[in-house]
Amino acid sequence: MSVKDLDQTYVAGTYKRFPIEIESGKGSLVRDEHGKEYIDMGSGIAVTSFGIADDQWIAAVESQLHRLQHMSNLYYTAPCAALAEMLCKRTGMSKVFFSNSGAEANECAIKVARKWAAENKGPHCSTVVTLKNSFHGRTLTTLSATGQEHYHELFQPLTPGFAHIPADDPSLSDLKKINQNGQVAAVLIECVQGEGGVIPLSPAFTCALRDYVKQNNILLMVDEVQTGNGRSGRLYAYMHYGLTPDVVSTAKGLAGGLPLGATLLSERVKDVLGFGDHGSTFGGNPVACAGAISVFSRLTDDFLTEVARKSDLIRTKLEGAPGVRSVSGLGLMLGISTDRPAAEVVAACMAKGVLCLTAKDKVRLLPALNIPEDLLLQAVDVIRQCCAEG
Ligand code: PLP
């Protein structure tokens, strides 16, 4: 049986896969089962921050594999402690809880909000507010947090205690109504809604939100699962908006291709979770943390400036091009609104050797942060052609 047949027979059919098998790769190039090469403009949906099989990352991960591949969280391990220090020092946050995915990083954030609010504001205060059109994960609770009804329909009843407000209303009238009796514990936002169509929040909205949560003793939590770890051209996207979050969740690109989630806790909430309140067998795994240290230590200011420059390069080439209506996003997380249906553009790009993604009705680009400029320009040329055709 071919890989495709085996997969279709034995793997749960939750993914609408593209019709190719990816066998291997190096950097921003990947190869399919027939040896055809593609420029990878998706990096596993913002995961392989330094591309496929990056030498420095492999060396860090391999060296850790030879030493200790796993140890229970009942013991101290060096990579976990070192990574937590790095994350705190670069963000000004105070402590980190490690898990394995974005959904779990958000689950932890929600647990922190619920416990903090119950202890500090009273048991009536348990509502977590998120934005309409947001995406926060696939566990039942993060699905409840996700502000898109079509994800909810088949999985009732959901976890109670969530409400969704418009992302583009700086008057915050819905939030004010929901918080009439002071029951809002936290607001959770993505600074750029990724799955929702690569839509950045407006500074008018984030400023109003920042002031309101401060005045009303509500936690501000930022989901940086997709936008984080250099993707936006800053270390975290909230840094573009001058926000000071109480909680930041991240995953995806953090460990460059190994499963790792992190929930960063500010001074205000760093000790909310105590012994036994939360845990994860694999969270903070030494190999995943070694990969993350390799990624994170290379996200220097100079490197992030390069990410922003490459973003500008893509925008300059695509904005105003035939068939391109607009380009949205931050850094190397860009959405292209096209005349042709996005799926058609993506299929045409694939045929010409460039792998792109979609987000809602847009073509979505999430290349490796270190994609070489020549490959980037080649890919953008193909995307331009494919947007203009049809
Ligand atoms: N939050 C955001 C903003 C995401 O984009 C995603 C995944 O796309 C998640 C959470 C869920 O992450 P994971 O699939 O690692 O659970």
pLDDT tens figures, 307-324: 999 999 999 999 999 999
Ligand 1 center to 29 CA (angstroms):
24
User: What number is the average pLDDT over the span 338-367?
Assistant: 98
Q: How confident is the model at residue 122 (pLDDT cuts 50, 70, 90)?
A: very high
Ligand 1 center to 325 CA (angstroms):
27
Q: What pLDDT is recorded for position 252?
A: 98
Q: Indicate the top mutation candidate among 107, 128, 135 to test ligand 1's pocket, ranked by most ligand atoms within 8 A of CB.
A: 135
Predicted confidence (pLDDT) at residue 390 exceeds the cutoff of 80: no
Q: Indicate the top mutation candidate among 106, 131, 199, 252 to test ligand 1's pocket, ranked by most ligand atoms within 8 A of CB.
A: 252
Question: Which DSSP string corresponds to 318-382?
Answer: HTT-TTEEEEEEETTEEEEEESS-HHHHHHHHHHTTEE-EEETTEEEE---TT--HHHHHHHHHH
Predicted confidence (pLDDT) at residue 303 exceeds the cutoff of 80: yes
* Cβ contact 368:299 at 8 Å: no
Tokens of 199: 């839509």
- Looking at the CA of residue 137, tell me the nearest atom of ligand 1: 11
For ligand 1, which residues put their CB under 6 angstroms from it? 101-103, 106, 135-137, 190, 194-195, 223, 225-226, 251
User: What number is the average pLDDT over the span 235-252?
Assistant: 98
DSSP E strand stretches across the chain: 22-26, 29-32, 37-40, 95-99, 127-131, 162-165, 184-189, 192-193, 199-200, 219-223, 247-250, 261-265, 324-330, 333-338, 354-355, 357-359, 362-365
For the segment 44-77, what is each residue's pLDDT rounded down to a tens digit?
999 999 999 999 999 999 999 999 999 999 999 9
For the segment 166-212, what is each residue's pLDDT rounded down to a tens digit?
999 999 999 999 999 999 999 999 999 999 999 999 999 999 999 99
Q: What pLDDT is recorded for position 139?
A: 98
Q: Is 256 left (phi over 0), alpha (psi -120 to 50) or beta?
A: left
Ligand 1 center to 388 CA (angstroms):
32
Q: What pLDDT is recorded for position 327?
A: 98
Ligand 1 center to 225 CA (angstroms):
6
